[in-house]
Structure formats: C-alpha cells, structure tokens
Chains A and B, each alone.
Chain A
Amino acid sequence: MSAKPVPALTQQPLSVINIGLSGFGQTIRDCGGSACDLRWQPPAEGDAEAGWALARLIADERIDAANRTAYGRYLASQPVLTGVGVAGDVIPGMSGRIILHSGPPIAWPDMCGPQQGAILGAVLFEAWASDIGAARRLIESGEVRLEPCHHHAAVGPMAGIISPSMPVWIVSNTAGGNVAYCNMNEGLGRVLRFGANDAEVIDRLRWMAKTLAPTLALIIDELGGLDLKPLMAQALHMGDEVHNRNVAASMLLLRKLSTAGLRSTRLERGALAETLSFIAANDHFFLNLSMAACKAMLDAAQGVPHSTLLTAMARNGVEFGIRLAGSDDWFTAPAPFVDGLFFPGYGPADAARDLGDSAITETAGVGGFAMAASPAIVQFVGGSARDALANTRRMLHVTLGQNGAFTLPALDFTGTPAGIDARRVLDSGIRPVINTGIAHKEAGVGQVGAGITHAPLACFAKAVLAVARNLPEEN
C-alpha cells in the first residue's frame, strides 16, 4: 500500500481525541486546545487479542471495498413474493428425510425444549412416526437430517421448523436472482414454532398445507407477485417495525390478498373465507414474509470475500450465531435471555433463551433497528418513545449506512440504520438491538412474553478474528 502524503502534525492546529484519563482532555481544553473525551471501554469485552486483530482491520481498504460491494447488493435487492410452494419441492437440498431448524447448527441432544418439541411435531406431521415416542426414537436414530434453515436459503421464527411437506413462502430477489423461503405463521398459543406438537397443532399444519397454501398460491398468481419492500416501508409508517409488531403489515397484506382473492374465479369460496379469516385473526401473519424478504435481501450480499457485513443473526435457543458476507461460517456465543414483559402467570424463570431466525429482520435494518417507527415496542422494557428513537439512532454507529427504502417519520424520514459491520460493533461495544418474543423453555407452552435483547459481543470477536486470519498481510 503506498503512503499518502500527510501534512505534519506540527503544521496543524491540534485537535485531540482523548482515550483514557479524562484529566488530560481537560488540560488541553484549559490551555485553549480542542479535545473530546471518549467514553471508552476495552473493546471486545477486554479480549486483547481480538482487540488487536480488530484494530488492524479498521479502515482496511480491502474490507471497505468488499463491504461496499456487499452492502450495495443488499440495498439494490428487490424482494418479491412470487408464490407459495411445498418445501420439499422448492427449497434446495430438501430431498429425503430432513427437517430444518432455526439458528446455527446444533445436535439433537443439545437442542432447547421448544425446538425438540417442534421437531417431533414435524415428524408426526410428515407421518414418519405414529406417536411422539416413535418420533423421538426416529430422531435419535439419526435417520432424519437436522440442518439450519439458513443453510437452505430459508428462515423460520422461533423453533424455525420446516419439514418437506410444509408450505413455504417463496420470495425472489428480482435484482439479484436469489430466492428465499420461510414457513407460514400459525398464530399464537399452542403452535409448532413454540414446540407444541399435539393433535390440534398437527391438524392446523395439515389444514395450512391443504387449504391455506393452495389458496394463497392462487391469490398470488392472481396478483402476479407482490413487491414486499414498499409494503414493509408503508407498515413502518403505520407503527410496525415488521419483527415484533406486524399489525399494519398484516392488514396491508390482507387487503391485497382479499381483493385479489375475491376477484379470482378459480377459488372456492369456503376456502377463501377460511384463509382470509385465518390471516385476519393473526397480528403476526406478516412476520414470516418480512423474514423471507429480509433473507432475500441479505443473501444477495453473501459471498463477497473479506466483507465484515452481517448477513445473518440467528438463535437456536442455546446459541446465538452470526454470519458475515465474506464466508459461510457461523460465529456463536451462548444465546442471551430476553429483557421484557411476561404474560399473566409467567415470569423470567419460565423463559427459554433467545430463539429463532427472526433477527434476520434486524440484520436487514428493520425490527429493532426501526424501533423509531414503532414506539409501542419499547414499552416491553419500560422505555419511552424517546428510547425508541435512541435505539434506532444508536444502531447508526454500527451500520454501514441507512436504507432509503425504509424511512422513519420520527427521524425526519431518514432511512433505517442498515448493514451491520462486525468491526463497528466490536469497536464501539454497541450491540445490535433485537425485538423479539419470549418462548416458554418447555416445549408446547407457547409464547410467554416479549421484549428486547442484544446480540452478544463474543460472536463478533470470533468473527473479527476469523476475518483477520483470512486476510493476507498488507504490504
């Protein structure tokens, strides 16, 4: 790298950034100089090796260029809902007995309760076993592959279970050519994604496969596809952040689907009514589409060597994992607990650790990053509307830019903070904020609360060390 000519320090008025003893900054100001004091903490939670590796990646032109490329692809992406399909038919690598789950890879015995319960439910749904005991033996035999959704261009909320016969949303990035998938939202209460696997749950899944999915497929065909970015942007202006609050987006979707459905001559009235009622009863119906759209945007950025842009944050209830655009590796740390409010009768002792692929929304610059659009969310942690704005503003310090497709009225219609740079997270110690639901730690109880959590810094330290290892020496 060639040296740039820099004017000598002695030829400039001094302007100091003071890191450490604040008295030194005060002296400079007392003597008429300019100095600002950092609120400094040891980066990487005091891991000096990671801190040094990080320092050598700051302002590295190779990384900056890779990030510009990856971030550019993310910004340019155009996620369009193009259809509904059967997972085994449309998701790559879904042949044979396989079940996808949320978060980074994890072995069956290590999984949390809700994820195990949901996998057993999926076995029953697939009719690979006739009862729970047989399902458990089948899984323990190792004859069913268990793999992360993220390894198959897919995402799933909470337990994140996708088995071959399940219907999935198909979202295509028309600007990049990649396709992303997500399962469909079952509603609240006793549902598979919280680990419930009784007959009511399996029956609902069967109805979704048999009635909901074909009906939606026809409606989407009638619509000729649905641009998701504008719909999400509109929802942000209506009080959603399209992760933990999806009321407006679900209504906007229902408006599109109902008019198109009623227009269609190919639909059976009973099925249409059931379908629309099912959607109308679920404030979170849009969540899974939001997730698929975000996955499509971020997969567009995947595969740019040396990039430190985050393309996934995902949790399996045991570990929290992140992935960078520069590699397919996971960097993990223990999943945190969620700070939040609990439904009547439940408390922190009932909570599972953070769970699900839904943090793909924050990775894509919505969810917690768009909290300014959704002040109601901060009440989960006793916050004020001002805190919502502060949360969004804080994320500007860890992102590469702002996504002009998603504007925030409360912040003068500036874009949401987008494109998390692992270096910036580790350097500032500002952890990406995530709005999320809280699952009961035991399978099948369901959601017990909601709140806010933060990505653990240890993931970022590992990621930065890996980037540093793979980067050739500068010369």
Chain B
Amino acid sequence: MTDVVTRFFPNLYRDSVALMQLSARLARLPGVAQASAQMATRANLELMKSAGVLDSVPEPRPNDIFLVLSGEADAVDDALRTAAGWLDEKAARGDEEAQQEPLRSIQMAIERAGANEGETEGQAANLALISTPGDYAAAEAMKALRLGLNVMIFSDNVSVEAEVALKRYARERNLLVMGPDCGTSIINGIPLAFANVVKRGDIGLIGASGTGLQQVSCLIDHYGGGITHAIGTGGHDLSAAVGGLTMLTAFEQLAGDPATRVIVLVSKPPAAVVAETLLRAAQHCGKPVVVCFLGASADSIRAFALTPADTLEDAARQAVRLSPSASAMAGADAPEASDRAQRARRLAAQLRPEQRHLRGLYTGGTFCYEAVLMLQEALPGLRSNTPAGSVGRIADVWTSHSDTLLDLGDDEFTRGRPHPMIDPGLRNERLLAEAADPGVAIVLLDFVLGYGAHPDPAGQIVPALRAARQAASQAGRTVLFIGHVCGTDGDPQGLSEQCQTLAAAGVELAASNAGAVALCRAVLEAARAPRSGD
C-alpha cells in the first residue's frame, strides 16, 4: 500500500544541493518510493507539482523545508523520522587527516619521493622490482628505465622482442635489466624476490638461473665466504637473440666494484657467439673469474684463462678458494666426499635387488638440470623434463620412466597452481606414487629456503615421507630419500632446523645438490655391484 506524506520543517535553511542530497538518501531507504526535499518557495512547489510529486500546491513558506515522501506506510513514517534526525544533525565530520593518493605509477612514486626529500633522508629510487602479470611487465620496465631506474623483472611470459628492446635501452645507459623471469638477486645485501640471507663478503655472482644463484650463494656462505652482489639476468639473457646484454653490464659493474674481488658466472652454456663475447670480457677484467656453464667443457673455459666449475657446488668452492678474505676456510666441507662411498654402501644394503631406479622430484629447475648432467653417464635410461647432454625428454611428465628426474616447477605442473617452492606440498602426492613403485630405490629431493619460499618446506613433506615409508615397509621394502637443503642459518626458515626435521623423518641429506646427486649415484652403483655376502 502506497502512502504519500508531506511535512514542513520550519525555519530551516539548506541549500538546494544539500536538499537534493537529503532526497537521494531518503529515496534509498527500504520501502521508500520517492523522496523530494525543497525550500518551500512558490517556484519550487510548482516545480514539484509539474513533476508529478504533488497533486496540489500548498501555501508557500519560503523559510521552511518542504518534504514529500511516498512509499509503504511504515517505511514513510520511518523515513520522516530519519529525515528529521538528519536535518538536526550537526555538520561536524571530524578533523581526519587528508588522505594521500595511493601511488599508482612509477612516476608518481618518484615524484612523491622527490616531494618528501626535505623530510626524509632517503636515497632516490634506483630499482623497480616488477612482478605484474607478464603482459604488462615489459611496459612497466620500459617506464622505469626511461625514468632512470634499474629493473628486476620477476614476471615471465615477456616476449623476446620486448626483452631485447629493454636490454638495448638499458645497455646504453649502464642500467641493469635483471630478468624477465628473474627469480632472485641480492643487491648490496638486500634480497630481492626469492633470495637467501647470505653473509656479505667479496664474491660477486651473476647468474641466468635463479636456483643456481641461490645454491652458489648459500654454499659460499656455508664455506665461510660472503658475497657482494648476486645479479640475476633471467634465463633468456645468454640466448643469441638477447646476446647476454645484461650479463655484460652486470659483469662490467662487478669488475668496477671495489668490494668485489672474485666474480662467478652461473648459467647453462650460452649461445656460442655470446659465450665468446662474455669470456673475452671476463679474461681481461683483472679479477679472478669462476665460470660455471653447466654442461660446457672445462677446456672451453680454460682457453680464456678462467677457472671452470662443473657443478654449482664446485663454483662455490672455487670462488671461496680464490677469495682473499675467505680462502683459508675453503675445503672445510671436503670430508663429505671421502665418506660418501661408505655411506653409499650402508644405504645400498637396505635395498632389495629389484630396487634399482632413481626418481628425482625437484622444486628447483637448475638442480634438476645439474642432476641430469651428473647422471647422464651412470644412468643411460634416464629421462627428464629438463633434458641435457645425452638424456632425452620424458614422453609424459605424469608417468615416470625407469630413471626419471622431474622439475616440478615446469609450466606443465604449475599451470593454475603455485610454484612448488611456494607450496612444496604439491609434490607429496607424486612422492607417494614414486615410493610405491617396487623398482624404485631412491627418491631424490631438494628443499629451497629463503625469502619468497614456503615458511616450512621440511615440515610440509614429513607426513608424506612417513606414509611412503610405512607403505614400503608393509611391502617389505625400504625406499631411500636423499636430498639437500638450499639455504642458510640466516634464512627465515633456518637451515639447521630444516635439516633436523628432514633427518628425523629419515631423509639422507647432503650439503649440496651435487653432493646429493653424487650420493645417489654411489648408492645405485653399490646396489648394482655384486654384494659381498650375497
């Protein structure tokens, strides 16, 4: 039932805008069909009539507010009371501080910082860290460069054309473009994106691989060395199309950095023409340079009078050996290698004869790649989704082949899901499946710590490990779990705590990925050799 009520509010002036506002608020109340408030001048009242709000024009009372409400009877009564309340209300709104506009663009951020210069003694912005969706990352990077900033692009899916355009622009201006698809960097001790807390020192790193850089920097820390900067270039930088533009600039910057005494380059082997340019630059920089081009021949490095390293661990060890401030500590970890054969025999003894195969479930792509290279000769049937050397690509990543190494961070696994470094629990299901295979001797694992990674990767896997061991034990088998933790005690997760958790859950740990892979190789060799006492 629709009701129409009218009311004068005597001797109350509000300007027309305030009254339109009042009308609009009243009209929004439930059950109110229409609300009109006006100063009750003749003109206004006639206007209301011609607009159909009033049937007849009452006597004008120009100093009063005239309110017309229509709608459900109860609602109209309520609205009338509400209107009276609002008209009575004091206008005071409090003296809240004027809000600052959120920073919506790089330019705004630079200008805001400039405007605040007097108040804060902050350094002007010099790096844009970009983790937007890939479609927009190149544009943000270009803006940053044009505004004089260096850039780190965590985002992937940036076109090669855009990468080249960005890097050419930057190269002419001595600006760094770290990325696209750059997962980690450490600049002046500050970790960017996925990075570990590593002691400062005199070793400078440049890497096309994020986990490669993390491994080398953590092991340097472990061996008693420290780093100046770790500069990620992104995985495509050393392709022929991009030409290593970032690595060249980074190299020049570290060569010119007085704090950096040793330089380490970490990458898959670059395109030939790029390797030539890089190694020539390294040859003449006046500082010792360790080159870890995973899978490249040592002679090709030595030809330029540079120090080759065949694994990430080796790169870290060589760098510490060359570091004037840390060399005394180098080699402190050597016992692991000498104990390996004995440890392998002990582990192999737990296996049944049909348990002959290795399954690697990696969260770090470079670890998987390094493992493939290290095992290609020992395991001729090895397949992987990071094929290298003589190892072929696995046909179906969802079905393991006899010996299989998988990078679970690969696109096929991460589409629509987080990266396993962020959510390592995602590999638990696969771990159970591999351990249930009667032919499997070893499941090889990695655990990556640091900022950006899961807060407790070890804890995430413990239930799956327990379940897998129990299932194997019921089947009369023991499955070996071998792995390494990439991290430092300075990391938020704590290297020691993570190692303790894993060891308690029965994981055989090595200090590096190369160490873990070497242990696997030794175990499989021992298991395949005729056993004494058989």
Contact = CB atoms under 8 A, between A and B. Distances in A.
A384 interface: yes
B217 interface: no
A25 B452 CA distance: 11
Contact of B197 (A31, A345, A427): A31
B36 interface: yes
A19 B125 contact: no
A470 interface: no
Interface stretch (B131-139, B297-305, B346-354, B426-434): B131-139
Which bracket fits the contact residues of B?
Answer: 35 or more
Contact of B51 (A37, A344, A380): A344
A330 B127 CA distance: 37
B226 to A, nearest CB: 15
Contacts, number: 241
B470 interface: no
Given A20-B132, A55-B142, A344-B53, A9 B21 contact: no
Interface string A1-32: 00111111111111111111101110110111
Interface in A340-373: 341-346
Interface string B92-130: 010010110111111111110100000000111111111
A39 B102 contact: yes
A12 B175 CA distance: 12
A427 B126 contact: no
Interface residues of A, number: 74
Report which residue of A342, A345, A346, A389 has the largest number of chain B beta carbons within 10 angstroms of its beta carbon.
Answer: A345
Interface string B24-47: 110000000010101000001001
A174 to B, nearest CB: 34
A39 B103 CA distance: 6
B23 A3 contact: no
B190 interface: yes
Nearest to A449: B20
Nearest to A12: B126
Interface in B229-278: 229, 252-254, 256-257, 260
A21 B148 contact: no
Interface stretch (A56-64, A209-217, A257-265, A401-409): A56-64
Contact of B113 (A36, A346, A384, A394): A36
A40 B133 CA distance: 11
Given A20-B154, A52-B138, A59-B147, A31 B190 contact: yes
Contacts of B260: 10
A341 B17 contact: yes
A136 interface: no
B17 A38 contact: no
Contacts of A55: 138-143, 146
Interface stretch (A41-49, A73-81, A159-167, A266-274): A41-49
A270 to B, nearest CB: 25
Given A38-B105, A39-B104, A397-B101, A8 B174 contact: yes
A16 B127 contact: yes
A221 B18 CA distance: 41
A427 B23 contact: no
B124 A35 contact: no
Contacts of B228: 10
Given A34-B122, A386-B96, A60 B146 contact: yes
B252 to A, nearest CB: 8
B73 interface: no
A38 B53 contact: no
Contacts of B96: 386
B36 A19 contact: no
Contacts of A27: 191-193, 451-452
B126 A28 contact: no
Contacts of A428: 104-105, 107-108
B47 A19 contact: no
A19 B139 contact: no
A9 B254 CA distance: 10
Contacts of B448: none
A54 interface: yes
A382 interface: yes
Nearest to A386: B98
A429 interface: yes
10 contacts: A3-B173, A9-B127, A14-B127, A20-B155, A42-B136, A58-B142, A341-B24, A345-B47, A382-B24, A430-B104
Interface of A: 3-21, 23-25, 27-28, 30-43, 46, 48, 51-52, 54-56, 58-60, 341-346, 376-377, 379-380, 382, 384-386, 389-390, 393-394, 397, 424, 427-430, 449-450
Top 4 A-B residue pairs of the complex, sorted by shortest distance between their CB atoms: A345-B51, A20-B131, A344-B36, A341-B20
Interface of B: 15, 17-18, 20-21, 23-25, 34, 36, 38, 44, 47-48, 51-53, 68, 93, 96, 98-99, 101-111, 113, 122-133, 135-136, 138-144, 146-150, 154-155, 162, 172-176, 187-193, 197, 204, 228-229, 252-254, 256-257, 260, 451-452
